[in-house]
Structure 1
Amino acid sequence: MSTHRIALALVLPLLLVAGCADEEPTADDPAESGSSAAEIDYPEEGVDLVDPPELKGVYQQALQTYVDFERGRRLAAREGKVGRLLSFNAIARVSDPFREALAAYGGTTTYDGDVVIEFLDAKTRDSVLVLDICVDATALTVPDGAPTQLGEATRAPQRIEVTNIVGPWRVTKAESVDGTC
């Protein structure tokens, strides 16, 4: 009898692991699927991402850092304060202008509407991910007198740099570039 118990104790965990190994993420569960979807929406923040690049390894982490930064940037305009998504995913030189713009604005009216981010190009090199994006904010409702740092109802290209700073990835540059998209 004790041999059967020992065998059961050894085999049962293996069966449980084997049974769970067949479970794969499905397209119906976007939280568990990869970023290969053509469009990813964050309705709470008013951000729609179109054609995000398919990156591997650490560069996928860098891309997620940018996505979280973008969500934080849009939330700051919606809520009137800089939150963790923005401040944690960007260096101070990038996040402080948002904090300063919100303090100077002091408005109680906040932004509304969606911003569509189209990914135009992604380049990787060592510890840097450079993203060329098109920010379509034409559906953005901008309050009167709001600073342009928080967003404008335009469509314009931007360049984003995400750098690995001794472990964590951070947005180190987010600037408008000349041209149209």
Structure 2
Amino acid sequence: MHKAVLPVALFTLITLFASCFATQACNNHTFSNNRTFAKCVDLPVLNSSLHWNYNRSSYTLDLAFWHVGKTPSRWVAWAINPSGKHMIGSQALVAYQSNSNGSMRVYTSPVDSFATTLPEGRLKYWVSRLSATFEKESEMTIFAVVQLTSNMTTINQVWQEGPLNGKGDGPSAHATSGDHVKSFGSLNLVTGVTS
């Protein structure tokens, strides 16, 4: 009897611990540049979390997209999509570590096709204070302030990661299976509720 119950109890404890850790990860994170954020949410796939301050009077979103488990040969991106929960139409913030000098490259990129390699371009929203860090050989973070409109207390968000091209000077296409096709959802900036 005990032999049958022990594996189930152990599995339950491990699952409970993993669940508690996942829900606490973003709350326990501190940024090395001393930036602080009132709210955060652990995103369900791709080892990411979003941290933010939302100013309801000016409609500004001050954010940090934090991604863990990257190497210098990968890129990360976080985006708002005003037209739905999908890739096309996303207004993306992109970052990677340059192979040429090791500095961080961070820029904006509107996504207009499935075959995109995320070229630099202007977004539908004004973006300021755009920067990125790569720390501890595994943590990549994008920081930005995005000017939203009054009707955008709930946003569609999309996030992604993928390999750099052969030269290491820009993104290549990300995988199109598994968690890479599940990295989207909606977020209420006031309540923090996701779906």
- TM-score scaled by structure 2? 0.28
Q: Higher helix share goes to which structure?
A: 1
- TM-score scaled by structure 1? 0.29
Radius of gyration: which is bigger? 1
Q: Higher strand share goes to which structure?
A: 2
